[in-house]
Structure 1
Amino acid sequence: MFELIALIAVVLAIAALSSVKGLRMRSEAELGLLRKEIEALKTGLANGQVIAPAAPAVSPDEVEVAQDVPVAESLPDQAEPQLQTIDAPEVAAAAAVTPEAEDLLTEPVLSQSPPVPEQKRESFESMLAARWSVWVGGIALAFAGIFAVKYSIEQGLVSPAVRLSLAALFGLVLMAAGEWVRRRTEPLVNNAFQNAMIPGILTAAGTITLMGATYVAHAFYGYFGPATAFVLLGIISFGTIGLSLIHGQALAGLGLLASMVSPALVSSEAPNPWALFGFLSVSWIATSLASKVRKWRVVPALANAGLSLWVIAYVSGFGLYEVPPATLPLLIMIAGLAFIWPGRWSEPLDSNAEQSPQDRDTVARLMFPRHIASTLTASFGVLAASILMMEFGFANTGHAEYGFLALVLALALFGASRTYAIYPAIFAALAALGGFRAMSEQAISTSYGTLDPALMVNIVEPTVARNLALGLGLVFALLAQWVGFRFRDRDRGFVSAWTAIGTVTPLLLGGVSFFLFGNYSFDLLFGAYGLVLALIYLAGAQVFHGGIENAGRYDFCRDLLLAASWASLVFLLVVTTDGVTTTLGVAFLGFAYLMAIRLRDWPSLPWGMVLSALFVAGRIAWEPTIVGPDHLGKTPVFNALLVGYGIPTVLLILSAWFVRSRNDDRLRNVLEALASLFALLTLGILVRHAMNGGVLDSATPTLAEQAIYTLLTIGASATLMALDLRRPSIVFRTGSMIVGVISMISVLAAHFGALNPYFTGELTGRIPFFNLLFLAYLLPGIAYGGAALFARSRRPYPYVLALALTGALLLFGYVSLSVRRVFHGEGIAEWKGFLQSELYAYSVVWLLLGIVLLVLGTRFRAKSIRIASAVLVLIAVVKVFLIDMSNLEGLYRVLSFIGLGIALIGIGRFYQKVLTGLEKEPETTTAGNEVAGTGSN
């Protein structure tokens, strides 16, 4: 049976050789046709026509093709010189070209700017007969060798040594056959069926057979020990990688796979990690060198993945692992990527670049570089291995933090030195953050005693974790500046990406480290770290991005560095100060950045004040008392709130005033809005502090406190409106209406709902006039009426009408509740019911109030106030007919209807005599202005 299998393998090999011979004969026939067609072209173009010069001969090693296969060798010496295709009608008519010759003529011509040929779709016949048959034949040969060995073992036909020798010989024969076929195969056959790779298939089959024979000799028969087997498998693997330079990338992949699997095939009672990773490193270097020669991109990525997986498996699955042998191969991989392949590769110098980097999209070129597979696999492998080294679940012989540090630094340096290595830069930052997270978990678990004692092997101390975090943060910050210095004129996208990495990573490392290990009251070390970072960022912004060409306009890198410097100084204030000092320090810091615009014409500087305002707002939301409830005094107005809220408000007002003449409308609008909001917030918090006896967190505000808030908001709305009239601004214009709408909603919800003394039973006070109703209803009603008068012809008519109706509603509430107070005293709760005289008084007062509003609307020519008067009179009419008719009796009912009739007749007469002229002249103009809305603003 073994002889039968061997015979089948030989027959398959002969069939493959016959197929190659047939292809060679076909190519020779096609070359003959090509010579004839060239002669025909030369004859047709002989009469005064210019023939394009032949392209200079280029050796296969000087040209890279898409399939990583050498370009076809030059034609035999007896062939005529090649001619470039000439796109002219005369040439087309000169001679008829056969399909076979046309296929050869349309092959790409080697020149300085070769045209890209249109790839034809491969026919099913070609795929089945010339391609898949070769692959299946090669696989059959490989299985033939394996099955032959297996069968010989089962049947015991010959001795094990003879069987293995025959198998090894068969593998060598297949490899020799592959080399013979390669030498005899014409280049055009290789070009036509590159993926078939008959020589490579035969060589691969021989390699697999040799690998199987070596492994069986060691594992099953013990003819030689692990060391000899390891060496033999390594020789076969490296030999396969060397042959891949001739046979292509697929054979290189097979050799790489063999080298990565070889250590797993050889078992040892005392495994040596140095020997293991030394062999893997040498295999990786050999693969990288072969890839550099042939410009492969797939095999290097597989090599990176294989080497990384071995390190990860060693760290996570070998118990007590050694740090140096696990670190060294990854460092070699990073160095190989930086100096071997891709090495100093640069896209503008790449012969296969279809277009220059300036013509390609910056983001696409940055995030999808030509060597993305290699950089991604290597980066992810280093990321996973470095973080695993810091996990306390995997014990080591000591100093894993040094291995972690070496890997992160090497990956970061690689990412900073090569423009195609953006992913190593990103993954280096992620590795720094992830490794610090793992180290901090160890430190915290050790401090709190929650770590299993069995896992407490070489735990990283908190101080070591903190120092590593701060050191890595400074390294990333400095690398970002180095990248800006080196590449700012060559690759702005790469510089921008590194600027983001070099600003975000140090701040995150410093912030998280302080949160975990810092002294919250005062920490000089973290304060110095923030100061050094700020100086680095400011220096980088000035030296590398502060040229005169960037003055007066926004620049991403410089602006990001300025923002990072501001954040670093805020970090300095947070770790060295507390309470109101931090709040004021951040406010003054933002104001200093705004004033620095006088020294440097960088439009992003004033935005530091905006950032400071947002930080102060967040700090207020976190701790409204600024200094803490225990340290906040109860003195109204003159307390820590006035300082903590008032000074940032004043600085914002000054900032808005300083930028009033700048062309940046967005900045001016934002500062004006923040100044307005902070002013309103300051007044509101001072009122609440005063009204609640120095306590800010009482459950529910009183009606008196809410009344002050209402007066403040409507006053703020009127103030913003006045500022808009003085200098038109979209912030003041929209802000005034937003504040006004909010105040009207609060009136409906609080004054007439939740805090209404009629529902709550709150006492209105003993003083007849100056009481709670005066503060909560009369004063706000007058304020809303004045705001409506001020806003007419300046704001949209619906908004003006809403203000007028709100004012009328407040006055209505004042007179109604005052009437009730007259009959029931300072307590006007609903449970007291109604008196008949009280019901009649409501009708009289409402009609009188409607008449007063009508007179005011006529006097000030305000249609909105007259509409409020009409609504109030309508309410009085409905009340008389629905309530008085059913509840009043005797004289009160008669007087109610008499008064209503007289009032309605008087109002009608008033309209007839007085308002006729208003409808003709100014009233129409006024109404039109009210409808117009914002006017000229």
Structure 2
Amino acid sequence: MDNFVFIGVMLILAIIIGSFLGIFAFAEVRQLRREVTRLRERLDEVVDGLAQPPATVSPPQEPALDELKLDIEIDEPETARPAPSPAPQAPSDKARWSSAQNARPGAPTKSGRGNPIVESLQENWMVWLGGACVALSGVFLARYGIEQGLLGPKVRVILGLLTALALYVAAEVLRRKTGNTHPTFAALAGGGAITAFAAVLSAVHLYTLVEPGVAFGVLTLVALITMWLARLHGPVLAAIGMLGAYAVPILVSTGSGNVLGAMAYALIISISVLLLLRYVYRSWLWLGLMAGALMWWLISLVGHQADGWRGPYLAALGYLVIAVIPGNWLLRERLPASGSSAALVLPSLLVIATAQCLSIFREGIELSAVSVLSLLVTWSPLALVALIAGRRNSTLAPVSWALFLGQLAAWFASRLDQGDAVRLLPVAAEVQGAFLSYLLVTAVLFSAMAIYNYVSINQAKQGSHRAAGAWWASLAVMVPLLSLLIGYALAGDYLSKFWWCLYAAIFGAVFMFLGSRGVGRHWSRGMVVWLFIAAHFAYSLAVCLWLKQASLTLALALQAISLAWVIRRFEVPALGWLLKAVLVLVVVRLTLNPWLLSYDNVAHWSLWTYGGSALCAWLAARLLRESQLNLARWAEAAALHLLVLTLWAECRYWLYDGNALAGEYRFVEAVINMWLFTALGLVYYRKSLIAGSFANWYDRYGRLLMAGGLINYLWILLATATSEPWAWRAIGERPLFNMLLPAFAGPVLLAFAVSRLYLPAVRRYAALLAAFAAFVWVSLEVRHLWQGSIRLDTSAATGELYTYSAVWLALAVTAILLGSWRGWRNCYQGGMAVLALVIVKLFLVDMSGLEGLLRVASFMGMGLALLGIAFLHQKLGQQRPEETVQ
């Protein structure tokens, strides 16, 4: 057995030594090929020089050419070999990396326009594969020794380190011997790096020969050596070293699950990569760094071993991303204004902030051993890094905002119960105090640092940094209010509602005072605007916590007046968007009330909620009319909309005994809505003609109201045609003066008004609708006079049928004569259509049962009526020959 083991070990060593010899041979062949290429180029130059004279070369000169060629072949190896000079032996890092990418067999002398990574993979795939095989051979040799029990643990580790050192030395010797770098040498050094990583980690995790601190020191040294060699050998070594370094803990893992050790190790590797990036930048190295570091954070989410450590880990990673490349160790310097690394810092920090928010969601608030100190130690370091670094770097200001909002969202989401119905679970009573204390300290930290950064930016008086002033101003004033909101949502039982509302009101009063004081003392516009915004937000928060339903809506609407006053008094038009937001919120809330909320039928709430909100919008428009015309039109439009809602709510309030949101829809309400919506649609259209920039808004809302009025009328017609009790019972039995007038005569008037005052494109259709509505109304009046009801599912008597015919005939005659007299073609055609209906009805219905003299009299009367109509039509047409039929 020992013989077999010995033979196996010798075979593996032979393979490694053979690989070295093969690489040396490859280098020698490479050098010879380069010399032959130089000789051919020199020969071509000489031949071209001899071919320039026009004279023909005589045959006797050929031997001279051969002799010259022989001289060149003999002397060229000495003259073509470049003389040693300092410059070629010590090229710059960037030049060395560029030459490393171009020094491959068959590579063009000039870089193409393709993707360099794809080109490298296509042309150096054998080099990459060879380097990976060399690296894996060292790892698998270590595994084989472990499984077979060969040698002792210390010898195994030492042999692994010696193998890594041999690979390092071989790569460097080859580089110096050839005078240039090559991806093959980089792959060889990369295999040594991975072998060294594997040997050190096996000494820690497998054999416990050294303490973790010592091992990480050695790993740091190995990583630094690898990255330093990458400066000499080019990007291939950097890629192999980085990827291998991040993956080695997985390759040599024993299943112990030491995630914390792997995370610490990943930070060490990240430092090495960043140190390399200080000298030679490659965007794919940066992306590899982020992927490798966050890979171990993602793996840590599987278990609970890293709970409490993910925050410091991400904070350390964020600090390294900002500090290492520019050497900004105290985070007091500015990042480079240009360069690819500066462009990637912001998105990298945003990704790290997102990772911390996901970590908060993953860990949540545990009942065991939770304290203010543990929460602060876990989740505050990254905030400190972002806030300190953002002081001199305006581009990093959004990171603090994103981190704060993300953390609040994560705390909130962690308490959502995904059971049968989504509900919010409050924090357990045992940890509510600690959680609120953590929110308080965090709010103080963010606000204090934001104020400090804001003051520093203003003192700098530089435009590029002033752009970040709004970020810090908003963060300083909004953090306390948002913390108060999330504290009430998750631990509201810790204090009574009175105290929560009082704190919000105090914040609002303080911010309003500071905002007014800032205007007088000429504070920056950004800070003043955000102080007023925070004041109104605090007021909204207080009323939302204290009031409910209708009172809350009115309280929110009152802010329109205060905002309009602030904009006018302190000349801060930047608050206009907040005024618009308040008006939109109130309008949407009151518009969707029937589907979202329910109110108690007390104190005539519909009047002071809908009407009060409309009054607030109107007063805001009056305050802004002289200074801010555009905002005034916004408020005026909201006031008109709220007026429509007020009239609608009041009608329902009186119809349904004080319940404006009753789940009913009566015939009377349909009639009222038909009148209300159509009339207000006309008002909005006429308003759009003089509204300027709001013309489109008024026009579209007017069309919506017109559609609402038409739908109500069609609904009434459908209910009447199907004899629904909902319709005919509301009419009553009183003749003439009943609901038939507003329900069926009203549409005639409304449609006529639309045909005269509304959009020209719909006026013709409105006139036709008016004629149709008049026909329906007259017919229903006849039905009601005979039956006492408008039900259509009962039979009609003979007298009622003749009454229909007589009335319809009168309508037809009137329309025909009026159309002939006035030249209204549509009126004339409508009368003819009704006349045709009357004739058909007389022949098929009215006279179908008549016999004898009654039939003779009926047909005689019908014929005389038609002859009279024809005579009058011809006479009227002759009186107006100059008018053409329209």
| TM-score interval for Structure 1 and Structure 2 normalised by the shorter chain | 0.7 to 0.9
Q: Which residue number in structure 2 is paired with residue 814 of structure 1?
A: 777
* TM-superposition CA deviations, 1:368-426 (whole Å, max 9, x none): x3457854664454344344343549987884421343145136427845466588557
Q: Which residue number in structure 1 is paired with residue 317 of structure 2?
A: 333
The equivalences for 1:898-937 within 5 A come to 900-915=862-877, 920-921=882-883
Q: Does 1:823 align with 2:809?
A: no
Indicate conservation of the 8 Å contact 1:744/1:806, yes or no. Answer: no
Letter in 2 for 1:811: A
Q: Which residue number in structure 2 is paired with residue 525 of structure 1?
A: 503
Q: Which residue number in structure 1 is paired with residue 412 of structure 2?
A: 437
Separation in structure 1 between the aligned mates of residue 709 and residue 147 of structure 2, nearest angstrom: 95
Match of 2:362 among 362, 365, 388: 388
Q: Does 1:847 align with 2:825?
A: no
Indicate conservation of the 8 Å contact 1:470/1:529, yes or no. Answer: no
Q: Does 1:714 align with 2:714?
A: no
Q: Which residue number in structure 1 is paired with residue 738 of structure 2?
A: 771
Indicate conservation of the 8 Å contact 1:483/1:498, yes or no. Answer: no
Q: Does 1:183 align with 2:149?
A: no
The equivalences for 1:551-590 within 5 A come to 570-590=540-560
Q: Which residue number in structure 2 is paired with residue 20 of structure 1?
A: 27
Separation in structure 2 between the aligned mates of residue 726 and residue 157 of structure 1, nearest angstrom: 95
Separation in structure 1 between the aligned mates of residue 464 and residue 154 of structure 2, nearest angstrom: 64
Letter in 2 for 1:432: Q
Letter in 1 for 2:187: I
The equivalences for 1:824-903 within 5 A come to 824-825=787-788, 827-853=789-815, 868-886=830-848, 897=859, 900-903=862-865
Shift of 1:824: 2.5
* TM-superposition CA deviations, 1:848-885 (whole Å, max 9, x none): 23444556667887665555544443433332233223
* TM-superposition CA deviations, 1:124-144 (whole Å, max 9, x none): 99999x945544554555466
Letter in 2 for 1:776: A
Of Structure 1 and Structure 2, which has the larger fraction of its residues in helix?
A: 2
Q: Does 1:646 align with 2:646?
A: no
Q: Does 1:619 align with 2:589?
A: yes
Match of 1:690 among 631, 639, 654: 654
TM (norm. structure 1) is 0.70
Separation in structure 2 between the aligned mates of residue 676 and residue 33 of structure 1, nearest angstrom: 91
Which shifted more, 503-512 or 200-209?
Answer: 503-512
Letter in 1 for 2:277: S
| Number of aligned residue pairs | 825
Distance 1:484 1:872, change over 3 A: farther
Shift of 1:841: 0.9
Shift of 1:561: 10
Separation in structure 1 between the aligned mates of residue 881 and residue 517 of structure 2, nearest angstrom: 70
Match of 1:205 among 183, 188, 191: 191
Q: Does 1:7 align with 2:14?
A: yes
Separation in structure 2 between the aligned mates of residue 727 and residue 153 of structure 1, nearest angstrom: 86
Q: Which residue number in structure 1 is paired with residue 280 of structure 2?
A: 294
Which shifted more, 408-417 or 805-814?
Answer: 408-417
Distance 1:867 1:403, change over 3 A: farther
Indicate conservation of the 8 Å contact 1:477/1:533, yes or no. Answer: no
* TM-superposition CA deviations, 1:417-474 (whole Å, max 9, x none): 54665885576246413432256459x9xxx999999xx9978756347647866885
Q: Which residue number in structure 1 is paired with residue 768 of structure 2?
A: 805
Indicate conservation of the 8 Å contact 2:401/2:475, yes or no. Answer: yes
Distance 1:341 1:383, change over 3 A: farther
* TM-superposition CA deviations, 1:289-309 (whole Å, max 9, x none): 233233354445544554555
Gaps of 5+ in 2: 1-6, 50-86
Separation in structure 2 between the aligned mates of residue 574 and residue 4 of structure 1, nearest angstrom: 80
Compute the RMSD of aligned alpha carbons. 5.9
Q: Which residue number in structure 1 is paired with residue 380 of structure 2?
A: 406
Distance 1:294 1:693, change over 3 A: same
Separation in structure 2 between the aligned mates of residue 336 and residue 608 of structure 1, nearest angstrom: 39
Q: 1:490 is paired with a residue of what secondary structure?
A: helix
Distance 1:21 1:312, change over 3 A: same
Which shifted more, 622-631 or 177-186?
Answer: 622-631
Letter in 1 for 2:784: R
Separation in structure 1 between the aligned mates of residue 146 and residue 216 of structure 2, nearest angstrom: 23
Distance 1:852 1:590, change over 3 A: farther
Q: Which residue number in structure 1 is paired with residue 78 of structure 2?
A: none
Which shifted more, 8-17 or 22-31?
Answer: 22-31
Q: Which residue number in structure 1 is paired with residue 70 of structure 2?
A: none
Separation in structure 2 between the aligned mates of residue 832 and residue 668 of structure 1, nearest angstrom: 57
Over the matched positions of the two proteins, sequence identity in percent amounts to 21
Separation in structure 2 between the aligned mates of residue 308 and residue 339 of structure 1, nearest angstrom: 18
Distance 1:655 1:11, change over 3 A: same
Which shifted more, 719-728 or 575-584?
Answer: 719-728
Letter in 2 for 1:17: F
Letter in 2 for 1:586: L
Distance 1:592 1:886, change over 3 A: farther
Separation in structure 1 between the aligned mates of residue 854 and residue 621 of structure 2, nearest angstrom: 62
The equivalences for 1:661-680 within 5 A come to 674-680=638-644
Which shifted more, 768-777 or 207-216?
Answer: 207-216
Separation in structure 1 between the aligned mates of residue 825 and residue 466 of structure 2, nearest angstrom: 62
Distance 1:389 1:21, change over 3 A: same
Separation in structure 1 between the aligned mates of residue 89 and residue 629 of structure 2, nearest angstrom: 61
The equivalences for 1:435-584 within 5 A come to 435-437=410-412, 440=415, 463-464=436-437, 467=440, 489-490=463-464, 514-517=488-491, 523-528=501-506, 546=525, 570-584=540-554
Separation in structure 1 between the aligned mates of residue 774 and residue 40 of structure 2, nearest angstrom: 107
Q: 1:829 is paired with a residue of what secondary structure?
A: coil
Separation in structure 1 between the aligned mates of residue 443 and residue 433 of structure 2, nearest angstrom: 15
Indicate conservation of the 8 Å contact 1:412/1:424, yes or no. Answer: yes
Shift of 1:334: 1.7
Separation in structure 2 between the aligned mates of residue 477 and residue 572 of structure 1, nearest angstrom: 24
Q: Which residue number in structure 2 is paired with residue 753 of structure 1?
A: 719
Separation in structure 2 between the aligned mates of residue 465 and residue 895 of structure 1, nearest angstrom: 101
Shift of 1:837: 0.7
Separation in structure 2 between the aligned mates of residue 66 and residue 767 of structure 1, nearest angstrom: 104
* TM-superposition CA deviations, 1:646-680 (whole Å, max 9, x none): 34334555667888899988x78766654443333
Which shifted more, 579-588 or 723-732?
Answer: 723-732
Distance 1:239 1:649, change over 3 A: same
Letter in 2 for 1:435: A
The equivalences for 1:186-265 within 5 A come to 186-187=179-180, 190=181, 193=182, 196-198=183-185, 200-211=186-197, 235-252=221-238
Separation in structure 1 between the aligned mates of residue 253 and residue 138 of structure 2, nearest angstrom: 21
Separation in structure 2 between the aligned mates of residue 776 and residue 441 of structure 1, nearest angstrom: 52
Shift of 1:842: 1.1
Separation in structure 1 between the aligned mates of residue 707 and residue 359 of structure 2, nearest angstrom: 59
Indicate conservation of the 8 Å contact 2:819/2:825, yes or no. Answer: yes
Separation in structure 1 between the aligned mates of residue 830 and residue 516 of structure 2, nearest angstrom: 61
The equivalences for 1:11-50 within 5 A come to 11-27=18-34
* TM-superposition CA deviations, 1:325-346 (whole Å, max 9, x none): 5543432222222222265675
Shift of 1:740: 3.7
Q: 1:886 is paired with a residue of what secondary structure?
A: coil
Indicate conservation of the 8 Å contact 1:411/1:428, yes or no. Answer: no
Distance 1:373 1:577, change over 3 A: closer
